Amino acid sequence: MAVEYNKNKLRPLLELLDSGYLFYKEGRIWRNYKKLNKFKTIKLDKPEIASTSTARGYRRVGHKNETVYEHILIYAWFHGIDVLDSFQCIDHINGNKSDNRIENLEGVTVRENSRRAESLGLVKRTFGEVNGMHKLKSENIKEIFELRLQGLTQYEIAAKFSVTQGHISEILSGKKRRVG
């Protein structure tokens, strides 16, 4: 299931890109005009970057008290707003959240986004033995699969390791703690 992007926030900014009020250059959205107040807009002598950085490193573009992520706006402008329905996330291939060049953006699933972030070292696992609250070690996971093959029930396996049956079920179904 794809994430619902707020297209009502994106459309006005896409129209500004189409009109030349805003433009794309080298991974940024720039502005040619600046609104001074509700009645007066001026043409800038020198274009300026229209986006600002967030605390998390993403860039956002604002218009009329609405803001959108710059990378989503750029992706929608190049590929069309309706293509956003096909993806859960728009990911930065190189992991740099402020590098919004179109060749660095890719539509992906949440899982693909998370795997890339982990492989680039942007996030660390919080499950398994890395988590200080873990109850099971990697060798226990292997043993759980072996015990299940031997015919033990999930309840019997759970009792052996002092965890819940639901925890064993999630391990066996691959939702938690994969082997290897």
Mean pLDDT across the chain: 86
Residue 108 token pair: 């992906």
Q: What is the pLDDT along the chain (180 residues), one digit of tens a residue?
A: 345 578 888 999 999 999 888 999 999 999 998 888 889 989 999 999 999 999 988 999 988 888 899 999 999 999 999 888 888 899 999 999 989 999 999 999 988 988 898 888 887 766 555 555 567 877 888 899 999 999 999 999 999 988 899 988 988 888 776 554
Q: Work out the burial of residue 151: count CB atoms within 10 Å of its CB; fewer than 13 is exposed, 13-18 middle, 19 or more buried.
A: exposed
Contact 81, 99 (CB under 8 A): no
Three-class DSSP category at 108:
strand
Residue 126's pLDDT is what?
A: 60
Q: What is the pLDDT of residue 61?
A: 93
Delimit the domains of the chain by residue range: 7-119, 128-172
Distance CA 152, CA 51 (A): 58
CA distance 108 to 57: 19
Q: What CATH number is given for 128-172 in this structure? A: 1.10.10
Share of the chain above pLDDT 90, in %: 43
Whether the Cβ atoms of residue 121 and residue 109 lie closer than 8 Å to each other = no
pLDDT value of residue 1: 36
Q: List beta partners, residue 52.
A: 60
Q: Among 82, 53, 85, which residue's Cα sits nearest to residue 69?
A: 53
For residues 174 and 159, what is the distance between their CA atoms, to the nearest angstrom? 20
Query: 12-16 — which CB contacts under 8 Å span 24+ positions?
Result: 12/63, 12/64, 12/66, 13/61, 13/63, 13/68, 13/73, 14/73, 14/76, 14/77, 14/81, 16/63
